Chains A and B, each alone.
Chain A
Amino acid sequence: MKLDRKFGSFGGQYVPETLMNPLIELEEAFKEYCSTEAFQKEYMYYLKQYVGRPTSLYFAEKLTRTCGGAKIYLKREDLNHTGAHKINNVIGQLLLAKKMGKTKVIAETGAGQHGVATATGAALFGMECTVFMGEEDIERQRLNVFRMELLGATVQPVSSGTKTLKDATNEAIREWVRCAEDTFYVIGSVVGPHPYPTMVRTFQKIIGEETKKQIMEAEGALPQALIACVGGGSNSMGLFYPFIKDTTVKMFGVEAAGHGIETKQHAAAFAEGRVGVLHGMKTYLLQDAEGQILPAHSISAGLDYPGVGPEHAYLYENKRVEYTSITDTEAMDAFQLLAKQEGIIPAIESAHAIAYGCKLAPSMQADEVIVICLSGRGDKDVHTAAQYLESTRV
């Protein structure tokens, strides 16, 4: 069976010819191995014993009371080893890389979470790992650079373009063009050329599968709403995918509005409504009239990406998911609220989802249920948060 290369008119493989056979080989290997019982068993073994899954679905009682309205549950991806959902995908891709006989892996990273997860997996499976990271992000996320190096990875600084995630991704793709014969490229989100968006979603859908089971146990019914933040969109795709056919479940993807959509300093690809091609995929992008990609802005480095996964573009067009956005300020308010109310410091990425949950809950009934994906923990963000709070203090 051939996998669909596109989601409606989105996705595809807009890459140099040199990468086409490597992508075809990857698709073949993904189809051959990943659905087998043996692979699933191995994948689940590592997710359980190494990552610590299943993560809990926690009823945030105090937050619910404060917001008033629907019951708010948090899917605790922050409790995973390495502190975010990124590791689910890395374990899957690295197991596949091993099956394909690849000995080296490369990855791109923005905030450093995917880089740390890849470095972790590479250490676990004994692979040589190089992580491409923009010089500006290296500056902003020194701690994660140190973590990756401690794990034995090489961090390759990227000085082209905006020196952030977008350019780190370009550089990782360029490197892959050079060395695809022995190197596996571990993409960190549901972005890039086919089969990556499908593959990453497959390795993240465990979030939604667990959620479905857990909410049925807790509430005896499906939730009325799901909320997750969207940068490239892997935690949201992982949560949403198993619920797509459950049409009573509303889904909300929350992009980063940065300083506000009207300021143009944001990372909300859907807000601008322009389709283009970047990083091998056709999707919604931040771009100017001539198709030059515009720099994104968000206080959260993990949402600071000018595009969005092509399956999200598809779900946006067929209106299955509603996409909305939250500003830096709203996210930082939610960041503090969750810390004080529940004793959980969320990643600033996830704080965007929390902020939208706090807006949505009061419009719903007390017997209705919202599940928010708490995609990562905020330890990595305390420095950014301290700077932010310092700057807003009058």
Chain B
Amino acid sequence: MNRIEMQFKKLKEKDKKALITYITAGDPDIHTTEQLIYAKERAGAHIIEIGIPFSDPLADGPVIQRAAQRALERGITLQQIFDCVDSVRAHTQIPLVFLVYYNTILAYGVGAFINKCEQTGIDGLIIPDLPLEEREEILPAIQNSAVALIPLVSITSRDRISAVVQNGRGFVYCISSLGVTGVRQDFREDLNEFLGAVRQATDLPLAIGFGISTREDIERFSPYVDAVIVGSAIVQQVEECGGDVDRVEAFVKNLVVG
């Protein structure tokens, strides 16, 4: 059982939901990224999603695009990110997952990337531009590792849901809305139905993400999922305060329900 699976098991025993929080690695710098990971854990986050900056982040809205651009302008490298993970692992066993675009993995080498994730203690990969159809390129390597391939499903997935979740591990990332990441005012009415369909298709925990920014949003979805993912709202905090760790900690603390 890897750290994600253990975390969900522990939370389930306590009848609690998981809070997954995102940050872009290297925004505003890699040292702050490390401090932000600790701050979020202190604030009550259960899983940390670390975004690897990419020049062309197709699935991201303006907030996370800007964060990636800031990090790249400061010269962030994969080596620095892996070093950061190494360093984090000396302090905490909180589950860590990467949000990584496929070209980053390809450039590093699929096998080498997964090995490196396993060595440094990354527990899962969310690859937003690697749908079911292209997954076979990475499946053999990842299935032989402790790293979970976290599948993404969307409202438009419909008849695809059961196939998409099939080789998944860790949790299923349910995309709350059409479009890219970023804060939203309302959610679609057919969301509950969608989450029900995903629940039927898998025993994996369900996490909902895209557009979730407030405690109210979290409470709205809690009955239907096992975890909520908050991304852009936190990155926006980081942007506004230039990476003020206390402020981000307070923001995350305020999201924690109950």
Q: Which residues of A contact B (CB under 8 A)?
A: 5, 12-22, 160-161, 166-167, 170, 173-174, 177-181, 275-280, 285, 287, 289-293
Contacts and interface: CB of A to CB of B under 8 A. Distances in A.
Contacts of B57: 170
Given A160-B69, A174-B179, A180-B178, A278 B132 contact: no
A15 B129 contact: yes
Contact of B131 (A17, A161, A179): A17
17 contacts: A13-B133, A14-B130, A16-B59, A16-B129, A17-B154, A17-B156, A20-B156, A170-B57, A174-B58, A174-B179, A277-B106, A280-B58, A285-B103, A289-B107, A290-B108, A291-B104, A292-B72
Interface in B150-168: 152-158, 160, 164
A161 B56 contact: yes
Contact of B129 (A22, A275, A280, A292): A280
B216 to A, nearest CB: 23
Given A277-B103, A291-B107, A17 B58 contact: no
A16 B101 CA distance: 10
B77 interface: yes
Contacts of A287: 103, 107
B144 interface: no
A13 B134 contact: yes
B237 to A, nearest CB: 21
B104 A20 contact: no
Contacts of B158: 21
B82 to A, nearest CB: 12
Given A173-B58, A278-B103, A12 B133 contact: yes
A292 B59 contact: no
Contact of B156 (A5, A180, A275, A291): A180
A276 B179 contact: no
Contacts of B58: 15-16, 170, 173-174, 279-280
A296 to B, nearest CB: 12
Contacts of B131: 13-17, 20
B251 interface: no
Q: Which of B78, B107, B108 has the most CB of A within 10 A?
A: B107
Interface in B78-119: 78, 101-108
A17 B153 contact: yes
* 8 smallest beta-carbon distances between A and B, as pairs: A291-B107, A178-B179, A18-B154, A291-B103, A292-B55, A277-B103, A293-B55, A276-B103
B129 A277 contact: yes
B54 interface: yes
